[in-house]
Amino acid sequence: MRHISDKNHTINKRLHKLYPPEIADRAVDSIIDLIFKYKSRIKSTPYQLSEKDVILITYGDQVNKDYEPSLQTLKGFIDKHLKGIVNSVHILPFYPYSSDDGFSVVNYGAVDPKMGSWREIEQISGEYRLMVDGVINHISQFSDWFRAYLSGDPYFQDFFIEVDPSIDLSKVVRPRALPLLSEFVDDEGRTRHVWTTFSKDQVDLNYKSHRVLRNVLDALFYYVEKGATLIRLDAIAFIWKEIGTECVHLEQTHELIQLMREVLHEVAPEVIIITETNVPHHENVSYFGSGDDEAQMVYNFALPPLLVHSILTGNTKTLTEWGKTLTLPSDKVCFFNFTASHDGIGLRPIKGILTEEEVQSLGNTVKSHGGLVSYKTDPDGNQSPYELNCSYIDALTHPDERDDVRYKRMILAQGTVLAMPGVPGIYFHSLVGSRNYKDGVKHTGINRTINREKYNIDWLEKELSIHGSLPKKMLASYKRLIAIRINEPAFNPFGKFEFLELGNQLFAVDQHCVNNRDRIIAIHNFSDEEVDCQLPENISLPLRDLVVSSTVVDLLSTSITLKPYQMMWLKGKL
């Protein structure tokens, strides 16, 4: 096996692709030092994703209790309600931050003291698989790194990207309706125009500096040392900048992700890289790379808006057509499926899938449900819808509709995600059916706050104890569906799958477990009508519905009927 110092080692070759020879050689030395540093500190344990993997997405301070670190309160909630059901927890940025609910990181190596300490993080990672955020495209303007840059510290002078504002940057893809360059005054009184893709408080890092790469890798290794086994690379599509290009999805970006994965795997090959690229679907899936060299999981960003569209229209034609296009470059990668997250429901991923009229209608409907729409600036200077800001349950139902309809539509959407090929991610608010947090938006002035409410744990537990309440019904039904999923090998994220055309009101996926010849045909009725359908003739009988009840019901006919918003997970043999 070649040593990294060998010019033919892939890490060495990747560094020489990214940097001039002399700088690349220095980068090689620094990465060898990092690997040596952490090999003695990290105990590597092999792991293979399976149907058992379900990831809870939550803020570290999602639930709070007086005089208790919120991370401790969170673990108590998970232990009480989800132990044995959910095996993984994605804690959104828990580092000290200055804005954007954690995504403007002040210090990569610390835990926000309001949430707790590394002790609480390690207690969670000791019992659950831990997913953390690598917020490595940018860092807070209040970080030590940026302060050192403004103070003139020579070590940090190439950590950030300073650009003459007269230079034409019109080609750069803009994810926000905010200036690309922000003005900062350094300690000598000079004005610096610095690259800020997302906001003035999120200053982009310059990966043309090998020292930036070294320090970021150090932080990622540190997370692995603290128990992280999954690393979400936030906003990673924008990480490399070349003036004169769109500065998104550049060849160097993919090279950088592949390099980071390979370096981490030198110490901990079980670490899973998940790329967060809220972009059109065909661009998003490029981060799988060859299927063996880049992200092991990619967010399935087109799924959340397509589910809302399909349920609101009662028509699954587009959803099924899109599903039939889903392919993977190998059996070593899979999709990360979800409905809601800490962000809004992205619209860019459905570009070319839904028409502009359908996207406009979707936005208008969500606004009529009490939600909001956020916009971005296009290269021509015009603004276009970027995402829908709304709790997922409110996106699916008008405030005047009955709670039983609200519940049925929401659990249908969540059940569909659990039955999709890949690994499911469940946002805390979806778990308990949270509604729009309008007061929060009034307080912060930020649209995304509508889906980021934090709870007093005593209040939430009381809501979950009320018989017939929406939160109690949602949590109980969600847990029951997850319990079914994690015990069925046919739901293995690396199994084979096929989307079936059973009519424009139904969405159906047939998943296979080749090892034991198990199959599950998951059928979901997206309409408010009873629907009859005929399964393909080549489906072997009998089929057993895992969802409908606790009693054993064998279907001896391929003709079935689904009630409004009903789902059936039919288990059989290939």
Dihedral angle of Cα 219, 221, 226, 227, to the nearest 10 degrees: 130
Helix axes 21-39, 210-225, angle to 10 degrees: 10
Nearest to 254 by CA among 238, 268, 243, 267: 238
CB 509 within 8 A of CB 534: no
CA–CA–CA angle 107, 284, 378 (5° rounding): 85
**CB contact burial 191-223 (16+ within 10 A = b; e otherwise):** eebbbbbbbbbbbbbbbbbbbbbbbbbbbbbbb
Please name the residue that has the structure tokens 């005929």: 534
Nearest to 469 by CA among 438, 499, 434: 434
Task: Please name the helix (run of DSSP H) or strand (run of DSSP E) that holds residue 471, with its range, or none.
Answer: helix 470-485
> Which residue out of 112, 201, 234, 510 is catalytically annotated?
234
Q: Indicate the SS3 state at residue 348.
A: helix
Sorted by sequence, the CB contacts under 8 Å of residue 155 that are 6+ apart come out as 148, 211
Instruction: Classify the phi-psi angles of 267: left when phi > 0, otherwise alpha if psi is within -120 to 50, otherwise beta.
Output: alpha
Work out the number of other CB atoms within 10 angstroms of the CB of residue 286.
18
66 is catalytic: no
Could you tell me how far CA 476 lies from the centroid of its own chain? 24
Nearest to 195 by CA among 152, 146, 147: 146
Interstrand relation of 88-91 and 129-134 (parallel, antiparallel or unpaired) = parallel
Residue 408 burial by Cβ neighbours in a 10 Å radius (0-12, 13-18, 19+): buried
Q: DSSP label at 160?
A: B
Nearest to 320 by CA among 345, 303, 334, 301: 303
Q: Does residue 542 have a cis peptide bond before it, meaning omega lies within 30 degrees of 0?
A: yes
Calpha distance 303→281 (Å, rounded): 10
Calpha distance 530→514 (Å, rounded): 33
**Active site amino acids:** 234
